[in-house]
Amino acid sequence: MTMTTETLHRLIELYVDGAIDERDRAIVERALEHDAEARLVHESLLELGLAARLSFDEAAESRGFDGLFERVMAQVDGAAAAAAPAARQARDAELELLAMQYADGELHDPRERARVERYLDEVPAARDGLDAIRELGLAARVTAEHHADAVNFALLQDRIMAAVSAEGRPAHVYDRGVKPARTGFWASLAAVFAEHRAAFTGVAAAALVAAVVLPLSLGGRSSEPAVINNYYLQAPSIESVSYDPGYYSTFRPGNDMVAPVVWIEAEDLPADANDDAPNGDDRGI
């Protein structure tokens, strides 16, 4: 079975997520057994998933859900003194956002940087959470770099530069600059071509026409009706129907499913005989 690398990677992602059926699981496991790149992708995804899980677990722990009941009860009981330490430890949403910007190097205001640093010093849980986010970012970056290693960016740059150079320079300048001057037989051939350019161009056009026409004339013709799954590719269409005095006519147009029917029948038949005519769209066109 042929499978693109992209498809295989997608299957590996589903495999890691546990959302894969038996057939695809077998494909992935076979690839993991024989394909080093597949193993690398698999391992990277596992590492990334583990890092993410650990970070979120850590962040969840830092929320201090265990102490929530006690803090609430303390407030309810009016034990302000008991609640004070919890308040001091409270997380500040605004500062947490600023802390994320701080971690990303996007916080430039010295006063806000000072606020965040003070907050992180005072609230260990916030610092732990920030560290977890940093670890997650690091894991993601390592994985991305892992994949980027497989791409030859140097070669990509060369290709881009080559394309830009070719595009920016007129073709005839390029040719004249690179190709050596013709001599001898080739020189005379080139001279003949230059002299009869129109004729050669005409011959080339004629050859092109022949290339199109000859296969048609030699390749035979279709001998079977073009019917696929009983559907007509193109239904015939009824252009006209006429009938003589003493006859009547009815017709049924065709479509993709049924063939058109034209019915022309004598009127002087026994009364029940005309019932054989199909139920057409018209009678006596």
Partner 1 sequence: MAVPHRRVIDLLFVALIALVVAFAGTDASAQDRANLSVDVIIAGHDGAGVDPALAAHSGRLETQFSQFNSFRRADSSSFQLAPGATHQISIPGGQTVRFSLVSSRSGRYRITVQVPGGETTVESPAGGIFFVGGPRAPDGTIILLVRTR
For partner 1, the closer of residues 56 and 243 by Cβ is: 243
Rounded distance between C-alpha atoms, residue 202 and residue 14, angstroms: 59
Minimum distance, C-beta of residue 226 to partner 1, in the bound complex (Å): 3
Rounded distance between C-alpha atoms, residue 265 and residue 276, angstroms: 10
Query: Judging by beta carbons within 10 Å of its beta carbon (0-12, 13-18, 19+), is residue 153 exposed, middle or buried?
Result: exposed
- Strand, coil or helix: what is 62? helix
- What residues from 254 to 283 belong to the interface with partner 1 (CB under 8 A)? 254, 258-266, 269, 273, 275-278
Minimum distance, C-beta of residue 192 to partner 1, in the bound complex (Å): 8
Minimum distance, C-beta of residue 225 to partner 1, in the bound complex (Å): 4
199 scored as a contact of partner 1 (CB under 8 A): yes
Q: Which residues pair with 251 in a beta bridge?
A: 262, 282
For partner 1, the closer of residues 161 and 206 by Cβ is: 206
How far is the first Cα of the chain from the last one, in angstroms, to the nearest whole number? 60
Which of 1, 171, 173, 216 is the binder for partner 1 (CB under 8 A)? 216
For partner 1, the closer of residues 42 and 252 by Cβ is: 252
For partner 1, the closer of residues 119 and 251 by Cβ is: 251
Amino acid identity at 82: A
22 scored as a contact of partner 1 (CB under 8 A): no
**154, containing H or E segment:** helix 153-168
- What residues from 232 to 251 belong to the interface with partner 1 (CB under 8 A)? 232-244, 246-247, 249, 251
Residues that bind partner 1 (rule: CB under 8 A) add up to a total of 55
The residue written with tokens 């609430």 in the block is 72
Rounded distance between C-alpha atoms, residue 36 and residue 30, angstroms: 11
Q: Are 99 and 120 in contact (CB under 8 A)?
A: yes
For partner 1, the closer of residues 50 and 213 by Cβ is: 213
- What residues from 174 to 193 belong to the interface with partner 1 (CB under 8 A)? 192
Rounded distance between C-alpha atoms, residue 254 and residue 51, angstroms: 65
For partner 1, the closer of residues 161 and 214 by Cβ is: 214
Provide φ and ψ at 68, rounded to 5°: -60, -45
Binding stretches for partner 1 (CB under 8 A): 192, 195-196, 199, 202-203, 206, 209-210, 213-214, 216-217, 221-227, 230, 232-244, 246-247, 249, 251-252, 254, 258-266, 269, 273, 275-278
